[in-house]
């Protein structure tokens, strides 16, 4: 089959060579964006008088037919036509005749493909922002239910201090808030149109790039045609923002997995978000959380992949850049899926408040309370730490907790300790008293929740 660019060639490549170079297998995902870009381009060619009205009308008619077929899934792409751009151009010519060949006037596949990617990513990043926000709302609702649910807080995965379970959930809300901000902020760098840069040097046709931008709803056009066709920073940035989002989801997934174990039993996932084992009938596995944790790897890989593709490429377009697509599509798919699954998983999970309550009453996570108590009574904190440590050790030897230690034993370490210490050591009290801004005190968690609500549109 003769290529659309076949004029200077004396022989064609073999099918397997074509196969290697073709991107149609994956860039067909850009079909609607490519048609959208072509509609704007030809409309601009008409508006500037570069093409006569009747040609523009014929081309727009053909593009509309292709759009209809694309939506209905009726387009048949071929490897022989290499990529989405040439496939569609060929289909247009087949559909309306040689006039279809005028569509590519003043345009190159280099500004065309970059345009498609900008249109595509702008839509998908907005979708990601919506998914993040839906998840944030669910987290907020869960948090509101559990402001006064006391849970163990950890450092080094060792019991540290008692906290409000809502406080723990809200920590993820804020990570997601930053993710949302990063994606939102990145839109201004996606919202720049490369169309009109041509192959790289611009064009001799009197095109109107601002008109194309207006038609496609872009705020700006690239100031430099060479930068326009070689820039993939906006994709790197998307992959980087996605990597950080996945890091957050993966950390949360890890906690969901831990909390679902018999050892923790802090939550139970809904059956609808769990799976069974083919051999062990008792099993209920947190597969979805594990998958999200696992999929984080491929998103990081996609980021590293593209950075590496770009690092040695001279200006401007190089075929290497065709390698920007699969990682981007895969990442879009992965982050949208992960966000939706995580939202459902958290919305439907049961929080085992009794177990959390019990956990926090059978540990030493109230030890800081005793040290603070002594410090409030004038003992230097370092000394208070030492005294408390000794009392903890005494308890460990006796196989009891601080709340079970008789006052006489406490007084052996410090006369400053009075009977009111038992109220101070109660985990609820320990949480309630943490009034410092952003702390886990119930009043602070409520303030935090109010602040979080204001972040949601």
Site residues, ligand ARG (CB under 6 A): 23, 27, 83, 85, 109-110, 113, 317, 319, 321-322
Give the integer Cα–Cα distance in Å for 244 and 339.
Answer: 13
By C-beta, is 66 or 169 nearer to ligand ARG? 66
CB of 115 to ligand ARG, least distance (A): 11
| Residue of 156, 278, 436, 457 marked catalytic | 156
Query: What is residue 285's DSSP assignment?
Result: B
Phi-psi domain of 256 (left: phi exceeds 0; alpha: psi -120 through 50; beta: other): alpha
Helices (H), 109-164: 109-145
Q: In terms of Cα–Cα distance, which of 261, 328, 330, 265 is closest to 290?
A: 261
By C-beta, is 27 or 413 nearer to ligand ARG? 27
By C-beta, is 322 or 448 nearer to ligand ARG? 322
By C-beta, is 23 or 212 nearer to ligand ARG? 23
By C-beta, is 8 or 156 nearer to ligand ARG? 8
Element (H, E) at 351: strand 350-351
The b-or-e profile of 346-358 (16+ CB within 10 A means b, else e) is: bbebebbbebbee
- Residue 454: other Cβ atoms inside 10 A: 6
Give the integer Cα–Cα distance in Å for 90 and 82.
Answer: 11
Residue 169 CA from chain centroid, whole number = 18
By C-beta, is 27 or 179 nearer to ligand ARG? 27
Give the integer Cα–Cα distance in Å for 18 and 411.
Answer: 85
CB of 83 to ligand ARG, least distance (A): 4
118 catalytic residue (yes or no):
no
Assess contact for 315 and 226: CB atoms under 8 A.
yes
Give the integer Cα–Cα distance in Å for 114 and 195.
Answer: 8
CB of 55 to ligand ARG, least distance (A): 24
Q: Cα–Cα–Cα angle for 50, 51, 53, nearest 5°?
A: 130
CB of 110 to ligand ARG, least distance (A): 5
CB of 119 to ligand ARG, least distance (A): 14
Give the integer Cα–Cα distance in Å for 192 and 36.
Answer: 16
168 catalytic residue (yes or no):
no
CB of 138 to ligand ARG, least distance (A): 38
| Residue of 12, 219, 243, 277 marked catalytic | 277
Q: Which positions are catalytic? A: 156, 277
């Amino acid at each position: 089959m003769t290529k659309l660019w076949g004029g200077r060639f004396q022989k064609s490549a073999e099918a397997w060579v074509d196969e290697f170079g073709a991107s149609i297998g994956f860039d067909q995902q850009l079909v609607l964006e490519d048609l959208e870009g072509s509609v704007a381009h030809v409309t601009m060619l008409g508006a500037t008088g570069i093409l006569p009205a009747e040609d523009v009308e014929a081309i727009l008619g053909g593009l509309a037919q292709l759009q209809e077929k694309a939506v209905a899934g009726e387009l048949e792409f071929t490897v022989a036509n290499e990529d989405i751009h040439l496939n569609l151009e060929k289909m247009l010519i087949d559909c309306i005749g040689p006039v279809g060949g005028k569509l590519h006037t003043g345009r190159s596949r280099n500004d065309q493909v970059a345009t498609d990617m900008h249109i595509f990513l702008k839509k998908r990043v907005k979708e990601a922002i919506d998914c993040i926000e839906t998840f944030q709302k669910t987290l907020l609702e869960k948090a509101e239910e559990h402001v006064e649910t006391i849970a163990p807080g950890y450092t080094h995965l060792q019991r540290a201090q008692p906290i409000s379970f809502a406080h723990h959930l809200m920590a993820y809300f804020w990570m997601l808030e930053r993710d949302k901000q990063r994606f939102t902020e990145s839109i201004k760098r996606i919202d720049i149109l490369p169309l009109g840069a041509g192959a790289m040097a611009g064009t001799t046709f009197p095109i109107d790039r601002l008109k194309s931008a207006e038609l496609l709803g872009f705020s700006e056009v690239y100031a430099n045609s060479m930068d326009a066709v070689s820039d993939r920073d906006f994709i790197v940035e998307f992959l980087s923002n996605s990597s950080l989002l996945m890091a957050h989801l993966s950390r949360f997934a890890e906690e969901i997995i831990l909390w679902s174990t018999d050892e923790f039993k802090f939550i139970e996932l809904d059956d609808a978000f769990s799976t069974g084992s083919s051999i062990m009938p008792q099993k209920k596995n947190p597969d979805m959380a594990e998958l999200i944790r696992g999929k984080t790897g491929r998103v990081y890989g996609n980021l590293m992949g593209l950075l590496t593709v770009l690092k040695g490429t001279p200006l401007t377009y190089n075929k290497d850049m065709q390698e920007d697509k699969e990682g981007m599509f895969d990442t879009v798919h992965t982050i949208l899926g992960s966000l939706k699954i995580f939202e459902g998983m958290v919305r439907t999970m049961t929080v085992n408040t009794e177990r959390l309550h019990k956990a926090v009453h059978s540990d030493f996570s109230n030890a800081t309370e005793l040290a603070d108590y002594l410090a409030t009574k004038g003992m230097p904190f370092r000394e208070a730490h030492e005294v408390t440590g000794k009392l903890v050790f005494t308890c460990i030897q006796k196989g009891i907790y601080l709340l079970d230690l008789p006052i006489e034993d406490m007084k052996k370490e410090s006369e400053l300790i009075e009977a009111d210490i038992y109220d101070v050591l109660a985990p609820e009290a320990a949480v309630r008293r943490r009034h410092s801004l952003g702390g886990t005190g119930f009043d602070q968690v409520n303030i935090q929740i109010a602040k979080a609500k204001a972040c949601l549109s």
